[in-house]
Amino acid sequence: MLKAVLNANEILPVDYSIRKTVKVVLFNAQDQIAVFETGTLPGGGLQDDETAEEALIRECREELGMTIDQIHKICNIEQYRDYLQKHYVIEGYTAILDEIIEEPTTDDPDELKRELLWLSPRESIEFMSELLVTVSNDPNLEGDAMQGRLYNIATAKIILTQAMEEIL
């Protein structure tokens, strides 16, 4: 199983707070992948004593209004976010869209305004590659905003690439 680390430091920080999260490469019946136009994949943080799979199911229901099936873990990614002093431990999964059951139930205003795209596997990886270049050249982003966007897009691209390798 792939393990990747995104860290801008010469050594791994040991005093950062840990945040466990999950992300999913979600396929529909046409073999398209759900990608947010922000360059992220569906998913989010684990709550209380939730398992990673329980969090993934809850996040897909909240963010997408969808149920998922055939959940398969494919990778682990760690991000060290310097400005927040957080160590994100991310589990990457693949899953199949089971059913659209409702409108998204999230009350997070940032999540509500994201546009969901359904892209082919090739298009999704190309989209992330282009977005990495665009964001890295954005003069309006700096500090945590820049690091967070780049790390999240890179994480999505790593998980997408791993999903394609597992499938092929």
**pLDDT tens-digit profile of 129-138?**
999 999 999 9
C-alpha span between 59 and 47 (Å, rounded): 11
Which uninterrupted H or E stretch holds 136?
helix 121-136
Residue 167 has pLDDT above 90, yes or no: no
Tell me the CATH number at 71: 3.90.79.10
Report the distance separating Cα 78 and Cα 26, nearest Å: 21
pLDDT per position as a tens digit, 21-54: 999 999 999 999 999 999 999 999 999 999 999 9
Of the chain, the end-to-end C-alpha distance in Å amounts to 15
Question: Which pair of structure tokens corresponds to residue 130?
Answer: 């282009």
Yes or no: say if 80 and 13 are a contact pair by the CB < 8 Å rule: yes
Which alpha helices (H) appear in the chain, and where do they start and end? 52-64, 109-112, 121-136, 143-167
Average pLDDT rounded to a whole number, residues 80-100: 96
Q: How far apart are CA 9 and CA 18, in angstroms?
A: 17
Secondary structure (3-state) at 151: helix
For the chain, how long is the longest CA-to-CA vector? 46
Separation of alpha carbons 2 and 65, rounded Å: 29
The pLDDT tens digits for 145-166 are 899 999 999 999 999 999 999 8
The confidence band for 108, taking pLDDT boundaries of 50, 70 and 90, is: confident
Residue with the larger pLDDT of the pair 110 and 31: 31
For 129, the token pair is 């590659």
Q: How far apart are CA 50 and CA 141, in angstroms?
A: 34
Summary mean pLDDT of the chain:
94
Confidence of residue 168 (pLDDT cuts 50, 70, 90): low
- Residue 45's pLDDT is 96
What's the total number of domains in the chain?
1
CA distance 128 to 72: 22
| Among the listed residues 62, 82, 88, the one whose alpha carbon sits nearest the alpha carbon of residue 158 | 88
**Domain ranges, residue 162:** 2-167
pLDDT for the residue numbered 19: 97
What's the rounded mean pLDDT across residues 45-67? Answer: 96
